[in-house]
Every structure is written in C-alpha cells, then in structure tokens.
C-alpha cells in the first residue's frame, strides 16, 4: 500500500510530492497525465506542475485501478469513463478494509 496520505493538506503539491505519496517515479505521473484527461495540474510561471487535492484523488483512483487491481491503461480509462463513482466507492472500501486489517494485526500482536 504505497499511497501515503499527507497529514497537512495543501492547496498544491509538486510532482515530487505526488510521486512520493504513491511510491512511483515522477515520469509515471507525467505519463498518466497524458493518458488520463482527469489529471490536469496547473502550471506556475516556471512551468512546474501544481497538483490540487482533486488531481491527487484522481491519481489515487488511477493508481488503485492500474497498480492494485491490475487494469490495463485502456481498461482503467474505460472503467473511469463508464462509472467513476463505482470505482471510487470500491477504492474507498478497499482502503477501509486495509485499515481494519492493519488495526486487527496490531491488536493481535499486542495480545
């Protein structure tokens, strides 16, 4: 589970911060930006990408579909286009179950 939620929410994140959140290279984030139209970071005057919370949420969805569920890029695009809300709900359910599993494992180890 490489995705690491930030404790402090910011208005904008750099590509380095976003790639670190997901444990992937910045080049993969740039590639996904070209492949998926739901990722549209702003660029500052220097041309540096500035990712919003919504951009990060969309990258998290793509990460979930491609890296965790094994979708191809075309399959992930189709899934997002057909029913993004269903995909988000499934991703949130998986995240919730992972948190419960982690809690139970901690509880078991403390017994």
Taking alpha carbons only, the member of 24, 21, 28, 56 closest to residue 40 is 56
Helix axis angle, 53-63 relative to 15-22, nearest 10°?
A: 40
Q: Could you list the mean pLDDT of each consecutive 10-residue stretch along the chain, which spans 111 residues? A: 61 94 96 94 93 94 93 93 77 83 88 85
Contacts of residue 63, Cβ cutoff 8 Å, sequence gap at least 6: 3, 22, 24
Alpha-carbon distance of 29 to 7, in angstroms, equals 21
The predicted structure's pLDDT at residue 2:
60
CATH code for the domain defined by 15-110? 1.10.1660.10
User: Rounded to 5 degrees, what angle do the CA atoms 66, 71, 74 make?
Assistant: 100
Residue spans of the domains in the chain: they are 15-110
Alpha-carbon distance of 20 to 1, in angstroms, equals 13
**Count of CA atoms in the C-beta half-sphere (13 A) of 36:** 31
- Write down the pTM of the prediction: 0.75
User: Rounded to 5 degrees, what angle do the CA atoms 36, 95, 72 make?
Assistant: 35
The predicted structure's pLDDT at residue 95:
81
The predicted structure's pLDDT at residue 34:
95
Residue recorded with tokens 């790639």:
19
């Amino acid at each position: 589970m490489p995705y690491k939620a930030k404790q402090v929410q910011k208005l904008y994140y750099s590509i380095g911060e976003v790639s670190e959140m997901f444990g992937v290279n910045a080049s993969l984030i740039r590639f996904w930006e070209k492949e998926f139209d739901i990722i549209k970071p702003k660029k500052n005057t220097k041309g540096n990408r500035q990712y919003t919370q919504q951009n990060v949420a969309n990258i998290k969805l793509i990460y979930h579909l491609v890296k965790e569920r094994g979708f191809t890029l075309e399959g992930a695009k189709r899934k997002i286009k057909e029913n993004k809300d269903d995909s988000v709900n499934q991703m949130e359910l998986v995240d919730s179950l992972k948190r419960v599993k982690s809690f139970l494992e901690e509880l078991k180890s403390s017994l």
